[in-house]
Amino acid sequence: MQTKQLYLYDSYKKEFEAKIQNVNGNQVILDQTSFHPLTGGVSYDMGHIKKGDNQHKVLRVEINRETKEITHVLDNAKGLSQGNIVKGILDWERRYRLMRLHTAAHLIAAIMYRDFNALVTGGQVEYEKAKLDFNLPKTEREIFEDAVAKANKEMDKGTALKTYFLDRKEALRMPGIVKLAKRTPPHVKELRIVEIPGIDVQADGGPHINNTREVGEISMVKIENKGKNQRRVYFTVK
């Protein structure tokens, strides 16, 4: 059974109640969860699942792309069984940092496209830092420095992000998001849209902050050459 993805509706939901659907070894599937799995270029959440006074550590969270079942890999699942009501508590320090880095990644990717015609070809947001790959003929440090400086300026504006759901057909008519929307499976009727007004609009399932001001200060970590026209930039937030 598909797990209800609470994080799609509220990125700031730190605690939730859920019913256990299945226990397999140290892996637990719930009917709903705020834990974001490793997907969409954003790392997984950590935290705890509690039943009464017993705490179980959430080490990793995975999603089955087909069934949309979300698996919580625990340190142990002793005493947990199907039908139990449990409480989920996110490691908020980790999640909030992932949200800040995720929104920073959207800002940088949008500016790289707008000002340098560079298309993002991949990326991953981890706890320590995030990386983005771009289609760029030359490694020019100044380009990335400029993009990061511009992203930092955007944060100072304190733009409020918008998250909403759009009918797939309607979403596909929006110019910027077509590329990503086409990648989502055709049976998905509604797409979640994350918009940084004036900068970026994406079909996106990951958690984001509410306001660009929350990103903090972005700094570049390093640039790597990944072959012909492929440049990778690593960055972090303070």
Interaction site with Zn ion (CB under 5 A): 204, 206
Contact 98, 237 (CB under 8 A): no
> Shortest gap between Cβ of 77 and Zn ion (angstroms)?
31
Residue closer to Zn ion by CB (options 88, 206) is 206
Q: Which is nearer to Zn ion, 37 or 206 (CB)?
A: 206
Nearer to Zn ion, 36 or 231 (CB): 36
Report the residue closest to Zn ion, judged by CB. Answer: 204
Shortest Å, Cβ 206 to Zn ion = 5
In the complex, minimum distance from the CB of residue 170 to Zn ion, in angstroms, rounded to a whole number: 20
By C-alpha distance, which of 127, 119, 69 is closest to 100?
Answer: 127
In the complex with Zn ion, the residue whose CB is nearer, 28 or 204, is 204
* Least separation in angstroms between CB 106 and Zn ion: 6
Please give the structure tokens belonging to residue 119. Answer: 């298309």
